[in-house]
Structure 1
């Protein structure tokens, strides 16, 4: 009898503790923000082949606009940033699998992606057409890409934008834009469709090799991707981004990479 009473008490205690934990989890959106603060670390997924947003310098150091912003963002949360280089085609599944806390890798906010994750917007991107310096093929707009071989990064909104143009001879996909620009330099591509900021970075670093032609198109907002359950983390990130914009640290980082 005593043994039975003991078991009943234990079961009741377990039920109470489980209920308390469940309420706490529901209240803070899964507890990710609390876990981040406890660990002292915000893990951030990046595709490190996307200069100037996130890439490796000549010393193999991870650098870029998102890297600088990510460090400031983590500091706003009272923790340190830890970057997790991840292939683009698996970056959202990795977030779902909790391999990292957020994705901060120049991800355009689209209706399709919003079905999978929540976003905290921090930038706007338009698509740009890049050609070799001197524009030997006389490509002056996206309409002039008909019949041409065009390079894009696999799985990006630039790939979607290029395929929507119509009449392009071939949309050639790459795992990273570094390879695409190398191929265009070797004459294997007629043009590249890429996010404007990335294109302008290449103009800045290699002004004698490439140029932007025509107007930008299909402008889309860029956001930090967060799991849908992590509502507390989304709110904290929104607050931190606003603080960065208000105090000027956000613009200072942009100026570092793109100039005024």
Structure 2
């Protein structure tokens, strides 16, 4: 499947603006909800709850699927979930109490645990410690906007649950448009280390060098706040990250714009986000079956709609689908 660079920019940005914009600021009356116009100039408004006691979307246990869970996990009765504490809205972020973790990733993880008859234990950790914890069996599964890649499939199994789309974000009014490697030649671009975004950016930089153009000046920052400060101050030209977080920032901050989107697996393959487990742990198939169940019963669609991510829905969860190809050296 091909994924044109600008395929989802407008649709996702407007969807997030409708469902999410200004949630970080809260409602001045109760600090827990916010209202935003569905589109610029529109009068219809949508409210989203960011309070710590917000009700999660739930579903019933399915005994036949719960029986598929590996015995040690089933007997323990809990699903140990790793989620990145460095993520951002609407993926994973803190509610208005600054303690309770909310977002599309934990919502889907809890929904899967419901189906499998397990108590969900969410463990907010740094990005790299998700994989350290999976390797050591400290955690059973990672739900943290993890892209399926061919390299990762050597160590991990995957159960896909959302399309993976990336976005280039620039200061508002930049007039730039990113449609391919040549558009970032010589530009200073921020990206998170160890992500598939970094792999793609490095590959684009190599492509530019081979074509006689300037390489990309790649910069790394510790957290989204630092990245956006650098973008606002002009220390970087662009930031490359997950499309949902970029569109959310555009909608809430009003100081930047999405200037190009791209599949997380490259130009010829639609990237996929997946629940990630240690290879051969026996958990990937039960996770995929649980995800397919919630896709079928409609609760999956409700979760994505709540966070403005309906455009990134998949029709089926797959075990170890084709992933981001290895980089060309």
State the distance in 2 between where 1:38 and 1:131 align: 50
Deviations 1:10-65 (A, max 9, x none): xxxxxxxxxxxxxxxxxxxxx97323332321111111222221122442221110
Q: Residues 62-211 of structure 1: matches in 2 within 5 Å? A: 62-135=101-174, 138-142=176-180, 143-166=182-205, 167-206=214-253, 208-211=254-257
- Range moving further from structure 2, 34-43 or 113-122: 34-43
Could you say what secondary structure the match of 2:155 adopts?
A: coil
Map of 1:20 onto structure 2: none
- Say whether the 8 Å CA contact 1:200–1:258 is kept in structure 2: no
Aligned-pair CA distance for 1:215? 4.0
Deviations 1:194-240 (A, max 9, x none): 1222222223323x112111342424111111122322x22211111
Matched, 1:48 2:85: yes
Aligned-pair CA distance for 1:165? 1.5
State the distance in 2 between where 1:133 and 1:229 align: 46
More helix by share: 1
- Say whether the 8 Å CA contact 1:130–1:211 is kept in structure 2: yes
**Partner residue of 2:272 out of 193, 203, 221:** 221
Aligned-pair CA distance for 1:148? 1.4
Q: 5+ residue gaps in structure 1? A: 1-30
- Say whether the 8 Å CA contact 2:167–2:258 is kept in structure 1: yes
Aligned-pair CA distance for 1:253? 1.1
Q: Residues 13-32 of structure 1: matches in 2 within 5 Å? A: none
- Say whether the 8 Å CA contact 2:69–2:116 is kept in structure 1: no
Q: 5+ residue gaps in structure 2? A: 1-67, 206-213, 311-329
Aligned-pair CA distance for 1:184? 1.3
Structure-2 change in CA distance of 1:65 and 1:168 (3 Å): farther
State the distance in 1 between where 2:153 and 2:226 align: 29
Map of 1:247 onto structure 2: 297
Aligned-pair CA distance for 1:140? 4.1
More strand by share: 1
Could you say what secondary structure the match of 1:153 adopts?
A: coil
Query: How many residues are matched?
Result: 227
State the distance in 2 between where 1:146 and 1:97 align: 40
State the distance in 2 between where 1:243 and 1:32 align: 15
Aligned-pair CA distance for 1:134? 1.4
Aligned-pair CA distance for 1:157? 0.5
Q: CA RMSD in A?
A: 2.1
TM-score (ref. length: structure 1): 0.80
- Say whether the 8 Å CA contact 1:49–1:56 is kept in structure 2: no
Which of 1 and 2 has greater Rg? Answer: 1
Aligned-pair CA distance for 1:110? 0.4
Could you say what secondary structure the match of 1:226 adopts?
A: strand
Could you say what secondary structure the match of 1:258 adopts?
A: coil
Aligned-pair CA distance for 1:245? 0.7
**Partner residue of 1:236 out of 279, 286, 306:** 286
Matched, 1:37 2:42: no
Structure-2 change in CA distance of 1:152 and 1:112 (3 Å): same
